[in-house]
Amino acid sequence: MILEIENLNKTYSNGVQALKDVSLTIKTGMFGLLGQNGAGKSTLMRTVATLQDADSGTIRFDGIDVAKEPGKLREVLGYLPQEFGVYPTATAMELLTHIADMKGITHAGERKDQVEAIIKKVNLWEARSKKLGGYSGGMKQRFGIAQALLGNPRLIIVDEPTAGLDPMERNRFYNLLSEIGENTVVILSTHIVEDVSTLCNQMAIIGKGEVLLTGKPGEIEAGLNERVWEKQIEKHELQDYEDTMNVISSRFHLGKLMITVVADDLPDGNFWSKAPSLEDAYFNVLYNERSNLAATVMA
């Protein structure tokens, strides 16, 4: 199974170019799509999920041309949108059974068994007969995950799935996805680096509608080996460091400001070497993108 996205472009009527010549090849397993808010992740997810047409480009999954045969793709798709609602007066059991029916699970017994199993899996069993209008944000998110898993989909798209989940539920979700990811193509769109680093064996970073980087998380991290440096500074010094060094991120640790710098050599004696993380790689990509943009503006 393979999802191939080629030269995808999308410009909205207000002139915003959401996708710029996006090309990706996604194989079986977990694929992380990392990007800031507004980077174009959801546009890409919606387009793959047949909810939006691209201006140009193609998407193919297992021989299915998504633009031409959206119905075929929907037969194998599980989709969890970034934001979604529910019918407030329906119960989880009712709505999931209905969605299972719509997904083509026509045998009532099988439908019931799968719905019940998935409800248990997402930890909503106790609340299965409650009306969805009374669900908390986290419960609703779990409901969303449950519906995406119905019908044994071969392509699962989850858009910002861990938003609203507490740490325990997030762990449960990671386990769930990792189980599924063994036999299906799972695209995990997120702005949380930890989601990708925990789960994905392939990834891409997207920014302003463009694919900025693709690869395996480990390889991407390795690309920064011995080039990441960290230092504790005073708050007022930050601007000077940003003016003179490649400060890719800054954070507070125990009340002190820590900066992370990418450089081939030790910037000064007070820096110490840091083992690169996926987060560093991500920040580095975003830093480079900002720098390029600034350079273009200056030019």
Partner 1 sequence: MISNILKFELRSRFKQPMTLLFFLMLVFQGIWYTQGSYEYYVNDATLMNGAALFYKNFAGGGMLLIIVIAIITGTVLYKDIQFKSAGIFYTLPINEKKFFLGRFLSAFLVNVIIGAGIFVGMALVPYSGIGAPDKFGPTPWGQMVHGFFLLTAGNLLMLTMVCFASLVFFKRMAAGYLSIFAFVMIFLVAETTSGTASDATFYELVDPFAYVYTAQTLDALPADAKNDSYLSLGPVFYINRLVWIGGSLLVFLLAYRRFSFKEFISTTLGKKKNQIIQAEQQQAYAMEKVNVPGVRLLFSTGEFIKKFWRLATLEFKNVVRPVNFKIILSILGLMFFLQNVMWNATYYLGPQQPLTSSMTLVRLTMGFFIMMLLMIWAGELFFKDRTSNIWQITDALPVPIWVTQLSKFVAMCGVALLLALLIIGCGVLAQILSGGWQEINLVQYADDVLGYKWGWLTYILNIAMVFFIAGLTGNRFLTHILSVGYYFFNVVSFDMGIMEELRFGYALTPGIEDFSEMNGYGIWSIASFWYFIMWLALAAVFVLLGIHFWKRGTALNLTKKLAFRTDQLNLPGKGLAVICLVAFFLLQSFIVREVNDKGNFELESAEVLKDAAYEKNYKWIESKPQPKLTRLDVTLDLLPSERKATAEAHMHLANFNPGQIDSLYLGFPDFMDFQEIRWNNELIEVSWKDDELHQLVLPIAMDTMETGTLFIKANKQYLGFTQGDAQPDLAFNGLFMDARDIIPRIGYNTSRELEKNREREEHDLAKLTARMASLEDGVALAEDAFAPDATWLKGKFTVSTTPGQFVIAPGKLNRSWQENGRNLYEYELEAPSPYQWYFASAMFESSSFKVNDLPVKIHFKKEHHYNIALYEKSVKATINFINARLGTYPYSELRLIEIPFYQEELYAFPNVVAISEKEGWYADTTGVAERAYITFSVATQLIRHWLNQNLHLANVQGADMLKTALPEALALQVVRSGHGEEAVDVLLEKKKNVYEKERGNEPNHEPPLIYADGVDYLEENKGTIALYKLSEVMGPVSFTSRLSQWVKQKNDHNAVFKDLYEEWSRHLTASQSKEIRVDFEEVLP
Q: In the complex, which residues of this chain contact partner 1 (CB under 8 A)?
A: 13, 46, 49-53, 70-71, 74-75, 77, 79-81, 83-90, 98-107, 110-111, 113-114, 117-118, 120-121, 123-127, 130-131, 133-136, 138-139, 144, 147, 149, 151-152, 168, 172
Cβ proximity to partner 1, 167 vs 255, nearer residue = 167
Q: Which amino acid is at 290?
A: R
Q: Residue 137 CB, nearest distance to partner 1 (Å)?
A: 11
Q: Residue 249 CB, nearest distance to partner 1 (Å)?
A: 31
Q: Residue 81 CB, nearest distance to partner 1 (Å)?
A: 4
Q: Is 181 helix (H, G, I), strand (E, B) or coil?
A: coil
Cβ proximity to partner 1, 149 vs 205, nearer residue = 149
Cβ proximity to partner 1, 165 vs 286, nearer residue = 165
Exposed, middle or buried by CB within 10 Å (0-12, 13-18, 19+), for 147?
buried
Cβ proximity to partner 1, 109 vs 269, nearer residue = 109
The Cα-based distances of 148 to 56, 174, 192, 210 in angstroms read 27, 15, 20, 27
Question: CA 265 to CA 76: how far, in whole Å?
Answer: 50
What is the total residue count of the chain?
299
Query: How many C-beta atoms lie closer than 10 Å to residue 76's C-beta?
Result: 19
* Residue 71, both tokens: 């119905």
Q: Residue 64 CB, nearest distance to partner 1 (Å)?
A: 12
Question: CA 41 to CA 160: how far, in whole Å?
Answer: 9
Q: Is 162 helix (H, G, I), strand (E, B) or coil?
A: coil
Q: Residue 284 CB, nearest distance to partner 1 (Å)?
A: 33
DSSP state of 118: H
Cβ proximity to partner 1, 3 vs 278, nearer residue = 3
Distance from the first to the final alpha carbon of the chain: 45
Q: Residue 185 CB, nearest distance to partner 1 (Å)?
A: 15
Cβ proximity to partner 1, 185 vs 281, nearer residue = 185
